[in-house]
Each structure stands twice: as structure tokens, then as C-alpha cells.
Amino acid sequence: MMDSPASLLDFSQSKINQSLTNDDKIQLFREMVRIRRFEQTALKYYNKGMMGGFLHLYIGQESVAVGTISLCGENDHVITAYRCHGHALAVGMEMNPCMAELFGKVTGAAKGKGGSMHLFAPDKNFWGGHGIVAGQTPLGLGLAYGLKYKELEGCCLCYLGDGAVNQGAFHESLNLAALFELPVVYIIENNGYSMGTSQHRSSSYKDCLGQRAEAYDMDWDLVNGEDLYEVRAKTHIAMERARKESKPTVLEIATYRYYGHSVADANAKKYRTPEEIEKYKTYHDPTRLWRRRLIEEAVFTDVEADAIDREAKREADASAVFAEQSPAPSVESIFDDVYWETDNNTEAGNTGRHFFND
């Protein structure tokens, strides 16, 4: 959302942000530029024809994944849709397996079986990476259900785009979340466009999309995504509501993507003006704004920021080399990871025919 007004409140003063050390703040910057450099590198190799399928870039939205996931603790879980690279890196996945997955290599996070839209790291409480619009919203509900069932104090951050708010599965999820009092935070990353259709042409709403939560008697808030402090402050409130009161929240975070819905989006510069994209890059870019803020706060210098950016670029370049040099999966591996029981060679996995080739 490009015309989001500058915040009237200074969220840097909220308790959760005051607890940040200088190193923490620099780390948030590092994570945002790592995502940006990863995405730029992915785009370069995608355009060279090194990857198949789609590439949904996160460039412009970095503050959302980084700000929200920086609040996660041991029992907090993350699940998102297909624009998932930012979340994957923010939860702590390394660039190499992520890039290799995009290249379809056996060293990829999912051994080349998932691709760009399906990055997973359950060991980091990251449950994908899902390709169908809003298909992940009931799954996020289930992660929250699991936490509550096991009586763990945690929550699930479930991300979706502004186009997903019109899917039935999302509405069913909101009803269940409120009805069962589940610790889930739905985060609508509103970049203004569901593929090529603007918010005004795709959604009917009164003031904003997040407000739909009211119909389900659920708390909601609207967040200016260009301000990392605001993202953290407001998400923290929602996460605490989930953890402490087991109540869901809908957050709508205004953000923007510089590239098309995917790189294959032929009309990326037709359904919006070049001026609109330029204006966001110049005045609302979350990475640039955070960098400026940290320089103003004397947390680091321009020179130090540049060094972090260079390091991120080096890391991304190296991940592309790693991916390129990695072997492709074998044809035999097509039949791995279909059934737990056959993978683990159990009695059940050896009883009856599971695969029907030839």
C-alpha cells in the first residue's frame, strides 16, 4: 500500500523494541538485505533459464517476514503461501538449501521435490511454503490447534496475501480460530495486488481487509509495513494475545512488491504505473528506511551497512554456485518421500502394492 501515512506513533519506544540491542537491530538489517540479495540472485539465474516453474519474489516486503519472525520463540510456528523465500531465510534456513531447491537439485531443502513455492524446515518450526492461495490457512489453524492440545505456550504465524482473503478456506479458518479460541495470528501481507488485480477490483470491504475479523468477533489491526518497529510492536501484541489468552488475531500489514506476481507475470508494469513502483522504492522501501533509521540512531555507519550488504551479496552468489554445482535428484528418488511407511521400510510399507508403474 503505497500511500500509507507516516506513523503518528513512535513504535521504537514500545517495550518489545526497547529491548533490542544494537546488535539485534543490525541483525534485523542483515536479515532484510540477505533476503533482498537472495531474491536478486534468484532472479538473475531464473532469467538465465536455470530454474523451472514460477519465481515469486519477496523484494519490497522484507520487513514483514523479518519483523514478525524476529518475535518468535521456541513454541512459535510459521506457515505461509508460495511467496516463501523471505520467511524461509527469516526462520534461519541457510541460503544454500533454499537456492538449491529453486534449482531443483538434490541438495535442496526438499531434495528438489518442492521447488520455489514449497520450502520447509520443521526443525525451525517452519511448515512451508504452500502453492494454493489460502490452502495454508487451515493448516496454520491446525498448528495452533496442536499447540493448544499439547498445552504449549506458543502461537502460529500464518501468512497470506491480500488475494487470499476471498477464499472460502480462509473464512472457514477465521470462524474456527475464534470459535475454538486458537493461538493463531493471520498476517495478511497486503501488497495491493492479487496477481494483476488491484485490491479495489478484487475485494469488497468497508475500511480495510483486516476489518473482516470483526464479523468473527476477533481482534485485528492494521500495520504500516515499511516501519520495522511498528511491525514488531503490533505483531508482538497479537502474539501475546495468542500465547497468553489463546485468542486469534488478524493483522493486515501494508507492504509492496517491486516485481510481478511472479517473474512470469507479463503485465507486471501494466496494471500499475512505473511511477507507483518508483515512488515506493524511493520513499517506502523498508530496507532503506531501516538502514536510515539505524544510521540516525548511530547504531551503525554507512560504511558498516555497505559491508553487511556486500557480505549478503557474496553469500547469495555463493549459494547460486553451490546450487549450480549440486547434482540433480535421481529418477529412483521420485518414489521416496511419498509414504512414511515405505520410506521407513516398515511391515506396513511392505504389505500390498503402493505404487502402480508398469
Residue ranges that bind another protein, judged by CB under 8 A = 77, 79, 108-114, 118, 120-123, 127-132, 135, 137-147, 149-150, 168-169, 172-173, 175-176, 179, 336-341, 343-344, 347-348, 351-356, 358
129 in Cβ contact with 93 (< 8 Å): no
> Bridge partners of 194?
197
Nearest distance, CB of residue 85 and another protein, angstroms: 15
Q: How many CA atoms lie within 13 Å of 220's alpha carbon, on the beta-carbon side? A: 22
- Residues contacting 255, CB < 8 A, separation 6+: 1, 60, 61, 63, 64, 189, 190, 191, 225, 226, 286
Nearest distance, CB of residue 161 and another protein, angstroms: 16
Strand 184-190 with 249-254, pairing: parallel
> Bridge partners of 157?
78, 185
> With respect to another protein, which residue has the nearer C-beta, 149 or 283?
149
Residue appearing with cell numbers 501475546? 240
> With respect to another protein, which residue has the nearer C-beta, 28 or 188?
188
- Residues contacting 156, CB < 8 A, separation 6+: 76, 77, 78, 79, 140, 141, 143, 144, 147, 183, 184, 185, 242
d(CA 312, CA 37): 6
Nearest distance, CB of residue 264 and another protein, angstroms: 20
Nearest distance, CB of residue 177 and another protein, angstroms: 9
Nearest distance, CB of residue 69 and another protein, angstroms: 18
> With respect to another protein, which residue has the nearer C-beta, 67 or 142?
142
104 in Cβ contact with 55 (< 8 Å): no
Nearest distance, CB of residue 104 and another protein, angstroms: 12
Strand 219-224 with 156-161, pairing: unpaired
> With respect to another protein, which residue has the nearer C-beta, 118 or 279?
118
> With respect to another protein, which residue has the nearer C-beta, 60 or 108?
108
> With respect to another protein, which residue has the nearer C-beta, 2 or 139?
139
d(CA 337, CA 331): 13
Residue 28 backbone dihedrals phi, psi, to 5 degrees:
-60, -40
197 exposure class (CB count in 10 Å sphere: 0-12, 13-18, 19+): middle
d(CA 349, CA 338): 11
Nearest distance, CB of residue 340 and another protein, angstroms: 4
> With respect to another protein, which residue has the nearer C-beta, 111 or 281?
111
> With respect to another protein, which residue has the nearer C-beta, 231 or 323?
323
Nearest distance, CB of residue 271 and another protein, angstroms: 27
Q: Can you tell me whether residue 220 is helix, strand or coil?
A: strand
> With respect to another protein, which residue has the nearer C-beta, 60 or 140?
140
Q: Please confirm whether the linkage preceding 146 is cis (ω < 30° from 0).
A: no
Nearest distance, CB of residue 115 and another protein, angstroms: 8
